[in-house]
Amino acid sequence: MYIYTLINVIVAIIVIIALVFLAFRFYSWRQGDEQITMLTKRRTQFEVEDINFHQVTLVCDIPFVNKGRQNGTIMDLYPRHLMPQEQFDNVWIQSWTTDANAERHDGYWKAQIIEAHKGGIVRLRLIFNAKNGNIHKDLAGFPDMNIDIVYQVVGRSDWHISKNRIVLTAEELQHALR
């Protein structure tokens, strides 16, 4: 008889622990998480920031927003321009990002907390250096170039890496250089 009572108590304790665990999981699920998204369709056109005979610097602003219900932290954010030398080899390209509201000129992304339903602006810089001396001649025939914006985000859950792509078209480059 005592054994049946002991088994009933143990089963009741296990059921209570399971219910508390399920209640906690439901509560956590309802709290939500961050959902930081780059709004690449709303980016600005590339504009010339600086130009000389050997080099041109283009700038573009990309808005982002935290669509989630919790704060999120952008730990790292960097561009990756995709221009293989087999496709176009007349210029050296450098790219880097910074927060448009607190610009840095060392290529370092300072981690920042993004509150729920708020956002900011990422400034992307592309620096083209001429290999043959004249940037206008070296950029002739420039094809469309993909640029991946890669960012590491952490919120209530584990960190994750997201990626969005923008395209610098040949027409947009020529329009900016005019």
CATH number at residue 63: 2.60.40
Confirm whether pTM is higher than 0.75: yes
Q: Where are the beta strands (DSSP E) in the chain?
A: 36-38, 47-51, 55-66, 72-82, 91-99, 112-114, 119-130, 145-154, 160-168
Domain that holds residue 1: 1-31
Say if residue 57 is in the same domain as residue 2: no
pLDDT for residue 121? 96
Say if residue 131 is in the same domain as residue 47: yes
How does residue 170 score in pLDDT terms, banded at 50, 70 and 90?
very high
Say if residue 24 is in the same domain as residue 93: no
**Average pLDDT for 140-167:** 93
Q: What share of the chain is helix, strand, coil (3-state, %, to 5)?
A: 25, 40, 35
As a whole number of angstroms, the distance between CA 51 and CA 129 comes to: 10
pLDDT exceeds cutoff 80 at 30: no
**Average pLDDT for 47-66:** 95
Say if residue 151 is in the same domain as residue 73: yes
Number of compact structural domains in the chain: 2
How does residue 87 score in pLDDT terms, banded at 50, 70 and 90?
confident
Say if residue 47 is in the same domain as residue 21: no
In this structure, is the dihedral angle defined by the CA atoms of residues 77, 144, 105 and 60, taken in order, positive or negative? negative
